Structure 1
Amino acid sequence: MAKNKKTRATIPGPLAAKALFFSDRTCCVCRVKGKSVQVHHIDEDPSNNRIENLGVLCLECHTETQVSGGFRRKLDAEQVILYRNDWFVLVARERAANLGRLPDTNPSSDLIELELATSIAEIYREREEYELLALHYMEVGNDELRDKYIELAINQGIEDEALISFRATQGKLSLVPKNVIRRRIKDLEVENAFFSLGRLYRETVNMKRRSKQPAKEQNWR
């Protein structure tokens, strides 16, 4: 007796939008930009529209999930989940590094945007990407969580440029070790990055003016 064919249910718009947003409208397996994609039910249950059960696949990779028999190995649920989670992190990391604001999946719904921001933060926390979490909360305007993850990122170890940028954002440039400032100045001079060099000098001068310490103790050079 033939099995009843599963009826494909329509994925609610906000959920489909979230899945597409997290994947940057790109297949999470082959990751080729510009290909037509569809939202795939990972467990093959068309009624299970939970966001954790949705993955974005191109038509070719989706076909691989339907392979049966022969010597070819099916692109199974476990593989899709691994590909999807890894791709989510890469996409989110690039967005945070570029300090781009989270796009409005539905401009009329603040709730959806909040869910997107929260989901991205959860991915970062799972991977202990504290620097990206600090950037994320800097962008969404949560100073308390920004400062929390700045400290965790610093303890974890970050580049001189990130350390200076974070402390400048906090208005705490005086907490940056002087040898880090000097090293960064030398790097910028070698790179002929005069705009960044001028900005760094300006920030250190402003910090000196706010400080009550004698000027000779604030000599970065």
Structure 2
Amino acid sequence: MARVSQEHLDARRRQILDGAAICFARGGFHATSMQDVLKEVDLSAGAVYRYFSGKEELIAAIVGEVLGQVRDGFEEAARSTPPPTPDLLVASVLKRVLASKESLTVDGRPAFPGLVVQVWAETIRNKELSAVLQEGYGTVRAAWTRIVRDYQDAGMMRADVPPEHVARTMMAAAMGFLAQQALFGPTSADDLAHGLRALMSMRDGADTN
């Protein structure tokens, strides 16, 4: 019997995750059954359950993957000396994540932003998913905190603000951008970059006189 290659296994796992993401974005977590996922990916139950035990594990895998992409993007930037400015950094990471999910659509609209909002809502009742999200956001926040310290060390940012506070603010900007995508439709991450750049250019009123 021929062995199945790792490339084939990875492609099948990708197929399942993408199909599940579309189902969840279309109908919501609770209204979506595993039968809906099987129909979407056109696979047998045995083929899908080989990779995932059920909806909860699928959701956790989707969330973990996305947060991993975000964390990796920020950690890669943190290795630069100094890192790119916040406007460029947040926009570039968001562009990369959105581009990796652009094939996922529901009724012609990107499915990913709506899926993100559903995940946030689901964490209120799902302790396991909440733990996955907490851990993932913790790693992203830690990466941002290191970046802010690098800004401060390079004299690019005022040093009297705790790095953790700036990290949470930048994460809030990215999360708010995704929420607006879900509610109001697609916009370019460049819009967020432009807005952040304008805010970064502000000075205290006393400095303008």
TM-score between both structures, scaled by the size of structure 1: 0.29
Larger radius of gyration: 1
TM-score between both structures, scaled by the size of structure 2: 0.30
Whichever structure has more helix as a proportion of its residues is 2
Structure possessing the higher relative contact order (Cα contacts under 8 Å, 6 or more residues apart): 2
